Amino acid sequence: MLYHSVEELVGNTPLLEFKTNEVDARIYVKLESMNPTGSIKDRACIYNIKDAIKNGKAPKNKILLDASSGNMACAIAFFGKVMGYKVKVICNTKLTEDKKQFIKYFGAELDVFGDITIEGNHLCKQWAETPEGQQKYCFLDQLHNPCNPMASFETLAPEIHNDLPDVSAIAGSMGSGGSMCGVARYFKKKNPSVKIITAQSASGTKIPGTGAFVDGDYITPFIVELRKLYDDTFMVNQQEAEWRTAQLAEQGIFGGFQSGAVLHTLIKGIQKHKIKGNTVMIIGDSGWKNMDKLKALIK
């Protein structure tokens, strides 16, 4: 296949079977780790930037600005560079060392601030609203930008539907909630019998891309909507996430702890709701972006 721009490589990610005897259902993994920057956030990033360009909010002299737990920051650094923008991102303490190096490699300015993304988001908003900031920044605001769930509604969800028309359940994690909100919106319209199951971090657990809402992680408008759409949600602790991440790796499915959290959630959902047939779990990023955390599993 021939491609002419790296943006064309976003999406159309494969579904790979994860083999298990633990449940009656078949599990497929949607490998969002195979997007250009190795994460699901490439989809929302491209949608957010293109929408800003379309609406005249992103002339080339402006700096693209946003807050993130890491993967969106990587995506903005990468696509911003490719599209000829300067980028400034604020990440929170969940940022892995690998993602930090990635962001710097692609030349973005990086500040690490706060434990949750909304703290950085407030800072971005303050900067972008000053008279100087209005001239200087294009604040993408992934936590409130409707293009974030739209990206999954228009790309991720239809890809799953086309590849697996008889899918019976889909599980993914909630960070901003944008990805699963788009997926849930699509399937509740197209085929409401598909069970939507979401993963969140248990209290005291910090899994990137998997908010700990019990501990006060920010409830975005997408999570408010998603809570009305999903069929079930499960809290996953660090030990469960680690065990399941290692299980995936045994079959060459290489993700961060978010991947294990989602597998655990899907298996619990299948068991609780007696789900059969084809199911999908969405792996949010590549193990390569989490090696400094995954190394805890080296025996």
Ligand X SMILES: Cc1ncc(COP(=O)(O)O)c(C=O)c1O
Q: Give the binding site for ligand X (CB under 6 A).
A: 39-41, 69, 71, 173-180, 208-209, 256, 258, 284-285
Residue with tokens 């950085």: 120
CB 198 within 8 A of CB 252: no
How near is the Cβ of 173 to ligand X at its closest, in Å?
A: 5
156: left (phi over 0), alpha (psi -120 to 50) or beta: alpha
Centre a 10 Å sphere on the Cβ of residue 81 and count the other Cβ atoms it contains: 16
How near is the Cβ of 264 to ligand X at its closest, in Å?
A: 14
Closest to ligand X by CB, 60 or 228: 228
Which residue has the CB atom at the shortest distance from ligand X? Answer: 284
How near is the Cβ of 198 to ligand X at its closest, in Å?
A: 9
Listed in order, strand segments (DSSP E) in 48-85 are: 63-68
146: left (phi over 0), alpha (psi -120 to 50) or beta: alpha
How near is the Cβ of 107 to ligand X at its closest, in Å?
A: 21
How near is the Cβ of 78 to ligand X at its closest, in Å?
A: 14
Closest to ligand X by CB, 62 or 94: 94
Closest to ligand X by CB, 62 or 76: 76
Closest to ligand X by CB, 30 or 62: 30
How near is the Cβ of 87 to ligand X at its closest, in Å?
A: 17
Closest to ligand X by CB, 80 or 256: 256
Please tell me the distance from the alpha carbon of residue 149 to that of residue 156, in angstroms, as a whole number: 10
Closest to ligand X by CB, 178 or 269: 178
CB 91 within 8 A of CB 73: yes
Beta-ladder partners of 90: 67, 111
How near is the Cβ of 130 to ligand X at its closest, in Å?
A: 27
Closest to ligand X by CB, 198 or 279: 198
Q: In the numeric block, which tokens belong to residue 95?
A: 């940022």
Please tell me the distance from the alpha carbon of residue 165 to that of residue 252, in angstroms, as a whole number: 25
DSSP letters spanning 17-63: EEP-SSSSSEEEEEEGGGSTTSBTHHHHHHHHHHHHHHTT---TTSE
